[in-house]
Structure 1
Amino acid sequence: MLNFFSEDVDFDLPRPLKTKKWIKKTSESEGYEISDLNYIFCSDEYLLEINKQYLDHDYFTDIITFDNSEEDNILEGDIYISVDRVRENAETFHADFETEMRRVLIHGLLHLMGYEDSDESLKKAMRAKEDEYLIQF
């Protein structure tokens, strides 16, 4: 099951059905099956509180991914996305909002599949994967 929710923002994901198919196809192409995956769209302030409470970080971020998977190759989790931060990043990187949102959606999925971005080489590899899947949208 793949779900989209809005927490404290009035936000509707553009093209939700196409996006769900794209996310499922992406996971399958990496050898994963989605069991229970929730994308929760929220504000900067909402995600900041999650960042402080669960990760002990006191800064804004565009995404926080919680992996609840118990079996290999079965994806379960909650992915919180700050709509405010995605909008600001789109402006900063001269991208349109929908494209930047799709990048963040796939970024969280890649984290659940084991991709990391903790150093520059890993960030570069993850960005290449994001680009690969963005083209497939």
Structure 2
Amino acid sequence: MTITIENEASKELPFDYKALIERVVMGCMDYEKCPYEAEVNVLLTNNEEIHKINKEYRGIDRPTDVLSFPMVDYDKPANFDPLENASEDYFNFETGELVLGDIIISVDKVYEQAESYGHSLERELGFLVAHSMLHLFGYDHMEEEEREQMEARQREILNGLSILR
């Protein structure tokens, strides 16, 4: 498993954020029963930078908390069966790992939302990583049913890792 974490944020996270990110990524991999070793890239940034990325890639002119850039096209969320026949499309040629995609998180939003929701920075960062990982597995929340399914999965993942509100 390759988890690359880059921190370009101006605010410091006063805990071992790398260990937390790795724990949540692995917890999501286990929860979704991903049968492959995988590659995930995580960038921690600030509101200004995520605003630019959000505007460029989504056409939304404001900062957001997290952006997900999945590399796998699933026929249904977390269905890994068809991927065996598409190894050249989704797997890193050198490592053999499934390239899930990229996660970008605003540390400014981690602080803002932790305070707003009345929970710890660790809980907020863990939630954003779990949320984004589910996007990398093909889940979405555009429809009410999808939103409910995604929220239930996030809750189960975080509860299973004892990352509580």
TM range (shorter): 0.7 to 0.9
Match of 1:2 in 2: 3
Q: Which runs of 4+ in 1 moved over 4 A?
A: none
In 2, the alpha carbon distance for the partners of 1:90 and 1:133 equals: 18
Q: Which runs of structure 2 are paired with 1:23-42 in the superposition (5 Å)?
A: 23-32=25-34, 33-42=36-45
Tell me, yes or no, if structure 1 residue 89 matches structure 2 residue 117: no
- Give aligned pairs, total: 137
Shift of 1:95: 1.5
Q: Report the RMSD for the aligned CA atoms in angstroms.
A: 2.2
Larger strand share, 1 or 2: 1
TM alignment of 1:43-58, pairs within 5 A: 43-58=46-61
User: Structure 1 residue 71 and structure 2 residue 90: aligned?
Assistant: yes
* Amino acid aligned to 1:124: E
Which has the higher relative contact order, 1 or 2, with Cα contacts under 8 A spaced 6 or more apart? Answer: 2
CA 1:22–1:92 in structure 2 vs 1: closer, same or farther (change >3 Å)?
Answer: closer
Stretch moving more, 115-124 or 21-30: 21-30
Deviates most, 10-19 or 48-57: 10-19
Unaligned runs of 5+ in 2: 73-88, 92-96
Deviates more, 1:70-79 or 1:23-32: 70-79
Q: What residue is the counterpart of 1:16 in the other structure?
A: 18
Asked if 2 retains the 8 angstrom alpha-carbon contact of 1:65 and 1:112, the reply is yes
- TM-score, normalization by structure 2: 0.73
Identity %: 26
Shift of 1:14: 2.5
Cα deviation for residue 75 of structure 1 reads 4.0
Gaps of 5+ in 1: none
**11-20 vs 87-96, which deviates more?**
11-20
